[in-house]
Amino acid sequence: MYHYKAKIIAVYDGDTVTALVDLGFLHTQEMKLRLYGINTPEIRGEEKEQGIIARDILREMILDKEVQIRSYKDKQGKYGRYLANIMLGDLDVNIWLVDNGYATEYML
């Protein structure tokens, strides 16, 4: 597992974000991240209402904030997004979403 500082610059849905990841030596890279181990309702289709709620909660929590990313070496989801846990201080956002009913556990 790798740890990086990052700033969340976009939240697509409840389990997909875009971050500016600090790779060290004054180098940052924009990366799409899939929140590891969880699944949230989709923002389209039958789950739309719950999906928008999950997305908006996540936006409120982390958008435009500095966070810690815990990524899994060379592990990407089926859409090429890196898999990561997002830490906001001591709070694991992935676990918080599950514990508060906005996401379910999901192993890729």
Residue 23's CATH number: 2.40.50.90
Task: Give the other-Cβ count within 10 Å of 64's Cβ.
Answer: 10
CA-based radius of gyration for the chain? 13
pTM of the model: 0.89
Tell me how far apart the alpha carbons of residues 21 and 79 are, in angstroms, rounded to a whole number.
19
Asked if 77 contacts 29 with a C-beta cutoff of 8 angstroms, the reply is no
Most distant CA pair in the chain, distance: 45
Q: Domain for residue 39, yes or no?
A: yes
Q: Domain for residue 49, yes or no?
A: yes
Number of structural domains the chain divides into? 1
Q: Domain for residue 48, yes or no?
A: yes
By residue range, what is the domain housing residue 14? 2-99
Residue 8 pLDDT > 70: yes
Confidence band for 75, pLDDT divided at 50, 70 and 90: low
Q: Domain for residue 107, yes or no?
A: no
Q: Domain for residue 105, yes or no?
A: no
